[in-house]
Amino acid sequence: MPTALITGATSGLGAAFARRLAADAYSLVLVSRDELRLAQVADQLKLRYGVSVEVLPADLATDDGLARVESRLRDGVDLLVNNAGFGHPGRFPEVPVEEEVRMLKVHCEAVLRLTLAVLPGMKERDGGAVINVSSMAAFYTRGTYSASKAWVLNFSESAASEVGNPRIKIMALCPGFVRTEFHQRAAMDTSGIPGFLWLKADAVVRAAMRDLAVGKRVSIPGLRYKAIVALSRLIPRSVQARVSARIGR
């Protein structure tokens, strides 16, 4: 039975990945800061799918939390889903530097370190996969969030080309607006976002797993978002920046 480790596993895309992989008979290792909620989610998955579920409470913004997850990954997993992340409600100059650094720690350093921790075991077993959750924001310019997600996208594509084993897949997942707790937790006003731009978490995960299976290095769920990315490549960066700033307000 294959094993998957998912960060940010108690809600949103992380929880959707957990449900999908449990249904596919993966043993799960769930990582989150919220120990109580982690235990509740694990119990639900065990009851519904009858799979083994291990919980690993860890704050990926801390060295201790990262070290705990790195240690578990070195024991061997077949699929790593780097999903943990968060947003800021404020504009770039207004966000406290401590929070900006925390975001870089979770979005960038954690993705780097956990990917590096899992790869030796995958190379030894001659196979495995890593899904790094980026964002549509990676294609635009909007503060530290989009910058950090652009790093995830670039890193994933670079790692995929340099890992040196076609049986080890590394993919960046770049969803648009998804119906999760993400925006509520970040105290973001989403009332102006058109309904047709919203995606369901389970649908995003289905698209991601399908794209991973066929070896894509970048997964963009939804035809509407594929079109948006294609259009963005035709627009000058200066214009993109102005549009992103207006949408953000």
What's the CATH code of the domain at 237? 3.40.50.720
Phi, psi of 142 (to 5 degrees): -155, 80
Would you name the residues annotated as active-site residues?
145
- pLDDT beyond 70 at 195: no
Percent residues over pLDDT 70 in the chain: 87
Arithmetic mean of pLDDT over the chain:
90
Range of the domain at 195: 3-248
Residues 42, 40: Cα–Cα separation, whole Å? 5
Helix (H) or strand (E) holding 177: strand 177-178
**Picking from 63-77, 102-116, 194-208, 224-238, which range would have the lowest pLDDT averaged per residue?**
224-238
Q: What is the value of pTM for the model shown?
A: 0.89
Is the model's pLDDT at 242 over the cut of 70? Answer: no
**What is the structure's pLDDT at 249?**
44
Q: In which residue are the tokens 């995929």 written?
A: 160
User: How many domains does the chain contain in total?
Assistant: 1
Count of Cβ atoms closer than 10 Å to residue 60 Cβ: 26
> What tokens were used for 26?
């993966």
